[in-house]
Amino acid sequence: MTGSVPAQGDLDSASAAPLHPAAREVLLAALDRGYADPRRLHRAGREARLLLDNAREATAGALGVRADEVTFTPSGTHATHLGLLGLVRGARRGDLVVHSAVEHSAVRHAVEWSGRGEEVPVDKDGRVDPAEVRARAVRPEVAVVAVQSANHEVGTVQPVGRLDLPPDVPLFTDACASMGRLALPSGWAAAAGSAHKWGGPAGVGVLLVRTRARWRNPFPGDDRVDERSTGFENIPAVLAAAAALQAVVAQREEVNARHHDLVDVVRRRVAAEVPDVEVVGDPVRRLPHVVTFSCLYVDGEALVTELDRRGFGIASGSACTASTLTPSHVLEAMGVLTHGNVRLSLQRDATRADVDAFCDVLPDVVAEIRSRVGL
């Protein structure tokens, strides 16, 4: 099926997954039925509204939340900005955002835009200490705490459900890296997800806001079906995103177990076969499909280029600034090697042959790059 199968050697699903077959089928069917304005009372408008409501119900069911807590946005970044800044605007006290040092750039930019932020350090696996988060959150100037569900770059799962925050300090959780692949953690007031990371269409984000959360729209509003959203709803896309999410959740037990075993293979082989390499992130409590390692004396751009020439698409640099190949703030916060880093993220149909093929070529690629500088 054209468009639903990843290119051979594509090991970068954390950036974007190919369209799930379930999403493609629903998308094509909805294009002719979901074009109208869902606010209108005529037949086409009523049908569009029904499809939009179905997408919201399906998404809520897959995530274990209420349908009225689900808002569709134009992207995961927009959902993140809306969720975090809406909690800041609705805060009962202070204006300071306490956040982990390894948050995605979408969170970091929102914090910078809002005015004041404070980073909580992480350990060498990239995980925050719940006690440290609480110690900072109890201060009267703190408005919101932001801790991601799992890290986009190294895969480490954060202890979101164990954060013991004061009752008047809400938690924002960027769940873009894990939504669909892992169950949502508990304790958040608002959370964000991104459909293209679970096999839905690009251009669909999911904002979740708990019913009792003190959230106020931080941006100018719009007269749409959902008061938290702005702009004309892309109903075929959100319906396709919901279909993909349902399929991914239904399949995740089997897929996650297979991915976890395949990533273990990569971790073992890279550590054993490539000299001067550091495999980073928690080896157990992690996203099942992600593995990151850094190679000493190797340029990340050179690694990406040489592996791409051999048919392997991988990521290097920060997950949020890879186009500039700047050193990763995540790896810096963890205190590990920041250059020559590679992130593999497996597609849903990845096999042992796929990861073995990558591991077979990697040692020679690293050795070749090092030889260029006399090592």
Topology, domain 253-372: Aspartate Aminotransferase, domain 1 (3.90.1150)
From first to last of the 375 residues of the chain, give the pLDDT tens digit. 344 444 557 889 998 999 999 999 999 999 988 888 888 999 888 999 999 999 999 999 999 999 999 999 999 999 999 999 999 999 988 999 999 999 999 999 999 999 899 999 999 999 999 999 999 999 999 999 999 999 999 999 999 999 999 999 999 999 999 999 999 999 999 999 999 999 999 999 999 999 999 999 999 877 777 889 888 889 999 999 999 999 999 999 999 999 999 999 999 999 999 999 999 999 999 999 999 999 999 988 899 999 999 999 998 864 444 445 567 899 999 999 888 889 999 999 999 999 999 999 999 999 999 998 876
Residue type, 52: L
pLDDT at 375: 67
**Architecture category of domain 21-248 in CATH:** 3-Layer(aba) Sandwich (3.40)
**What is the structure's pLDDT at 1?**
38
pLDDT of amino acid 90? 96
pLDDT of residue 317: 63
Q: Where in the chain is the domain with CATH 3.40.640.10?
A: 21-248
The active-site residue, picked from 176, 295, 320, 359, is 320
- Report helix angle 235-273 to 43-63, nearest 10: 30
pLDDT value of residue 4: 46
- Whether 182 and 150 have beta carbons less than 8 Å apart is answered as yes
- Catalytic, 359? Answer no
pLDDT for the residue numbered 339: 80
State whether residue 100 is helix, strand or coil.
strand
Query: Which helix (DSSP H) or strand (DSSP E) does residue 71 occupy?
Result: strand 70-73
Listed in order, strand segments (DSSP E) in 195-234 are 205-209
Q: Which tokens in the block code for residue 221?
A: 């509003």
3-class DSSP state of 190: strand
**Boundaries of CATH 3.90.1150.10 in the chain?**
253-372
The whole-angstrom separation of Cα 132 and Cα 135 is: 5
Task: Render the burial of 308-319: b for 16+ CB within 10 Å, e for the rest.
Answer: eeeebbbbbbbb
- Residue 161 pLDDT: 95
Long-range contacts of 247-251 (CB under 8 A, 24+ apart): 247/20, 247/21, 247/22, 247/23, 247/199, 248/20, 248/180, 248/181, 248/198, 248/199, 248/348, 249/62, 249/180, 251/348
Long-range contact pairs involving 106-109 (C-beta distance under 8 Å, separation at least 24): 106/76, 106/77, 106/80, 106/81, 106/174, 106/176, 106/320, 107/80, 107/146, 107/148, 107/172, 107/174, 108/320, 108/329, 109/81
Q: What is the CA radius of gyration of the chain?
A: 21
DSSP string, 116-157: EEEEEP--TTS---HHHHHHHHTSTTEEEEE--SB-TTT-BB
Distance of CA 339 to the CA centre of its chain: 22
**Global confidence as pTM:** 0.92
